[in-house]
Amino acid sequence: MKTMKLIVLFCLCFAINTYSSISVTPLTGEDDYFYYNVDVVLEGDKYVEGFGPHQGSTTRTYYEWILITPSDYGVDYTFSNYTNSLQGSNGSTTDTQLLLYDSENIPDSSTVIIQAPQIYNNSSSFGFGGGQSESVEGGGLFSDDGPFNASLQLNEEQYLVVFTSFQPDALGSMSVDVHGPNSIAWSVIPEPATFGLTAIGVSILYLGRRKYLSSQR
């Protein structure tokens, strides 16, 4: 019985750590909107190399991603990075980027970021898609315009949301306010390693159960 408890504890700890890079906390607002606080940690396990002006180099653009599905069409979904702590090869930065891919264009880990998103924002001065009017005030994709701050028009469909910084090798954390007129369902993206470790955990659990049952005969 003790062995079984240890096995179950191992599986539970694994499940908790798997999705620790993004946490979503629903909040209560003073109006009829739905509010979420999203804490993101760029830990270094997800990245693309040689993106944009760093093409041909081993410079990394780190990211985290999550799936969302708004419960209904809405024209005022806000995604605002209100605080962050990021450190790259050029020093500390407040530069963050928000990328959304719609359900027909969701990339995998080999094409994410490199494949252009349907919706993009890097500050209150520059963004496109999702009902944003393309602004000429910001410096564009690779300028350090500060944190993203977008008001978006989203449909009732699944989107892949990518949180990142285009500053070279930037790692750290960011906190994001997300709110809108309708609720949002959040779901994680299973990683290949997750499936492998889950299979190992299930195998251990199965073998442990067989051993336990044999001891009861």
For residue 60, give the CATH number of its domain. 2.60.120.380
Pair 6, 46 in one domain: no
Pair 7, 86 in one domain: no
> What's the total number of domains in the chain?
2
Q: What's the confidence (pLDDT) of residue 197?
A: 38
89 half-sphere exposure, CB direction, 13 A CA radius: 10
Q: How far is CA 195 from CA 17, 23, 48, 88, 202, in A?
A: 14, 20, 22, 31, 10
Mean pLDDT of 172-196: 82
Q: What's the confidence (pLDDT) of residue 37?
A: 97
> Is pLDDT above 70 for 29?
yes
Q: Measure the CA–CA gap between 163 and 189, rounded to whole angstroms.
A: 14
Pair 49, 133 in one domain: yes
Domain range for residue 142?
A: 21-187
Q: Is the dihedral of CA 93, 94, 95, 97 positive or negative?
A: positive
Q: What's the confidence (pLDDT) of residue 171?
A: 98
Tell me the two tokens of residue 74.
């809405």
The predicted model scores a pTM of 0.78
Residue 208, Cβ neighbours under 10 Å: how many? Answer: 17
Q: What is the mean pLDDT of the chain?
A: 82
